[in-house]
Amino acid sequence: MQINDLTIRAATVNGSGSQSANLVLANAIFRLGIPVAPKNVFPSNIEGLPTWFDVRVSPQGYQCRSREIDILVALNPVTWHADVPDVKPGGAIIYEESYAVTGVTQRNDVVYYPVPFAKMAKEQIPDAALRKYLTNMIYVGALAELLGIGEETIEAALRAQFKRKLSAVDTNMNAVRLGMNYVRENLPKTDPYKLEPMTGLTEGLILMEGNTAAALGCVMAGCTVAAWYPITPSSSLCESFIQYCDRYRVDATTGERKAAVLQAEDELAAIGMVFGATWAGARAMTSTSGPGLSLMAEFAGLGYYAELPGVIFDIQRAGPSTGLPTRTMQGDVAFAYTLSHGDTKHIVLLPATAIEAYEFAAQAFDLSDRFQTPVFVLSDLDLGMNLWMTEPLAYPERGFDRGKVLSAADLEAAQSWGRYRDVDSDGIPYRTLPGTNHPNAGFFTRGSGHNETAHYSEDPNVYRNNLDRLNRKFETARGAVPKPVVEESGKPTALIAYGTSHHAVVEARDRLHAAGVETDYLRVRALPFTPEVFEFIERHERVYVVEQNRDGQLYGLLRAELPARSIERLKSIRHYNGVPIDASAIIDPLMQLEQTELVPA
C-alpha cells in the first residue's frame, strides 16, 4: 500500500470545465488532513487544447511539483498516447473506456480502470448543457471510491467550491455518486494507493492562490488606485483586487467607492496612472507580466529618478515577447532590477509563498513610500495562479508607513526645504503632496536634471551628486528590504534559491540528506542583496544558485556584486521548460557537479 503519498494527474480538454472538478478533488484531500499541492498546467487557449491538473499529495507537505505520476485520469483523446507513458510503473490509469489501448498505451506495469464516461454522462445526465461539466465530477467520484475519500468529504468540498449555491452542490454530488457507484460495481481495486485521514498537518490552514494573497495585501496596505492592462498570469491579481474592493470598500448607503480600478489602454498608461496617483499622494499599483513590464521601462526610469512611489507586480511567465503565456518562469529578475535606461536600479521583492505574496505586497507599499521609488514584486505563474496550502493571512498590526511627507504645518515650522535634499544623510529626501496648502509646498517634478530644490539644472556636479544620493538611498534600502531566510549548520555545500524554486529546494534537500549529502540553504527574498547573502556565500565552499531561467539571472547578479574571492564558489542550476521546477531538477545536476568537485580528475 502507498498511503497518502502520490500524484494524481487529470488530463482534460481546455474549456471542458475540469477546473472546478479538480479543485473539489484537491480540497477534499485537504479536508482529510493530508497536505496537497495542486498545479494547473494549461495551454494559452480558451477552449479545445490539452490541459493538465496535478494534485500532489504528500504527507511531508511538499508543495512543489513531482515528476512522477501515480494516477492518471485520461480524458483527452489527443494526449492519450503522450500521457500514459508518464505514469510510473505500478501506477493506475482511469480512462474513457472507448479509447484504444494499443501501442505505447498498452502497458503491463500499470493498472487500467476503464470507465464509460461519455456513455454514462449521456444516459444519466439529461441536461446536455451541464453534461460536459458534470462528466468531470464522475472521475472525482471514481477517484474518491478508489482512494477511499468518503462521500461527506466530497460534499463538504463541493460546498466550499460552490459556496451557498445548494442546487449546484446537489447536481454535482449526483455526478460524483455516478463515478463512485460505477467503480464499486464494476472495477475491483488492484492499485496500491490509498488515502487515510491525518491530523496535525492541514488543520487551521487554508488554500489560496498567490495572486489572491497579493490582492489582499494591496487592500490591507491601503492601495486606492489600481491601473492595469490584462495579461496572463497577472490578471487575476487585479481582478481579485476589484472583487475585494467591491465587497469591502463600497459605502452601503451612498455607493461611494474607496478605490478606483482603471483598466488602462496599455501598460504604458497603466504605470502612468500609477505614478500620477502616487505623485498626488495615493497608494497605487499595477500588475503585469514580462511583455507589459517592457512597455513600462521608460516610466520606471522616471519613477526612479523623479522619486515617485508605485508598486508594480510582475507575475512572471515564460518569455520572450508573447512566449508561453501560460507557463511559468523566473525570467524577468535581471530585467526588472535595472528596468529603464541610464543608471537605474530598483527594489525587487521575491515572494515564495502565499503568505509572502500577501506580506510583500503590503510591504512594497511601505518601502515604496519610504524610499519614494518604484518597488517591483516578482511573483510567477506558479505562485500566482496555483492554490497553496498556507496559514491564514495575519491581520496587519501596524499602520501605513507613508515615509517622509511634509504637511503644511511641517513646512511652516521648517526654515527651508528642498525636494531633493538629503537632510538625514540616508539619501531619502522629503516630499510634499499636491493640495498641501502652503506657499512653499509646490515643486516641479521632472525627469530632466534637477537640483535640490527641484529646479532645472544641467550642472555636471549637480547631476552627479543627485545620482550619488540616489545610490545612497539604494544602500539605505539594502538594510530595509526583507532579509534572506537561512538554514545553516556549517556544511560546506549550500543552495541559494528565490521565489517558487524554494519549494523544490525543500524536497531536494530532504532527498539529498537521505542520500548522505548535507546542504545549507539561503533563500533570497529581495534585491538589492542584503549583506547576509554575501556573508553566507563567504562561509561556504560551493554554493548552488537554483532558479527557473536559462541564463542564471540571479547567479549573474550575484557574480556581479560579489567580492572576487567568492565568485568561483558559485555554481548555477537552472530549470527552464515552462513547468514548475521539481526536486529532481535540482538533485540531478547538483549530484553531477558535486561529484566532479569531490573527485577531481
Residue with smaller CB distance to other proteins, 166 or 444: 444
596 Cβ partners below 8 Å, 6+ apart?
A: none
Shortest Å distance, C-beta 441 to other proteins? 6
Query: Which residues, including other chains, have CB under 8 Å from residue 516's CB and lie 6 or more apart?
Result: none
The nearer residue to other proteins, 74 or 302, going by C-beta atoms, is: 302
How far is residue 123 CA from its own chain's centroid? 42
- In the complex, the smallest distance separating the C-beta of residue 389 from other proteins, rounded to whole angstroms, is 10
Sheet holding 69-74, edge to edge: 36-41, 50-57, 6-13, 69-74, 87-96, 111-115
Determine the residue type at 230: P
What's the CA gap between 527 and 231, in Å, rounded? Answer: 24
| Shortest separation between residue 437's beta carbon and other proteins, angstroms | 5
CA–CA distance, 547 with 549 (Å, rounded to integer)? 6
The least CB distance from residue 541 to other proteins, in Å, is 43
* Nearest approach, Cβ of residue 156 and other proteins (Å): 10
Q: How far is the CB of 206 from other proteins (least distance, A)?
A: 4
Residue where the block lists cell 475540469: 18
Q: How far apart are CA 350 and CA 556, in angstroms?
A: 16
Nearest distance in Å: CB 466, other proteins: 16
Nearer to other proteins, 278 or 368 (CB): 278
For other proteins, give the closer residue by CB, 30 or 113.
30
Residue 544: burial class (beta carbons within 10 Å; 0-12, 13-18, 19+)? buried
CB nearer to other proteins: give 445 or 584: 445
Q: Least separation, in Å, of the C-beta of 355 and other proteins?
A: 12
Helix (H) or strand (E) holding 166: helix 166-186
Question: How far apart, in Å, are the Cα atoms of 584 and each of 133, 460, 496, 517?
Answer: 35, 54, 16, 14
Helix (H), strand (E) at residue 495: strand 493-498
> By C-beta, is 392 or 531 nearer to other proteins?
392
45 vs 161, beta carbon nearer other proteins: 161
Of 305, 319, 389, 396, the C-alpha closest to 359 is: 396
The nearer residue to other proteins, 299 or 544, going by C-beta atoms, is 299
Minimum Å gap between C-beta 121 and other proteins is 30
**Residue 378 or residue 441: which is nearer to other proteins going by CB?**
441
The answer to whether residues 453 and 331 touch, using CB atoms and an 8 Å cutoff, is: no
Which run of H or E residues covers position 236? Answer: helix 235-248
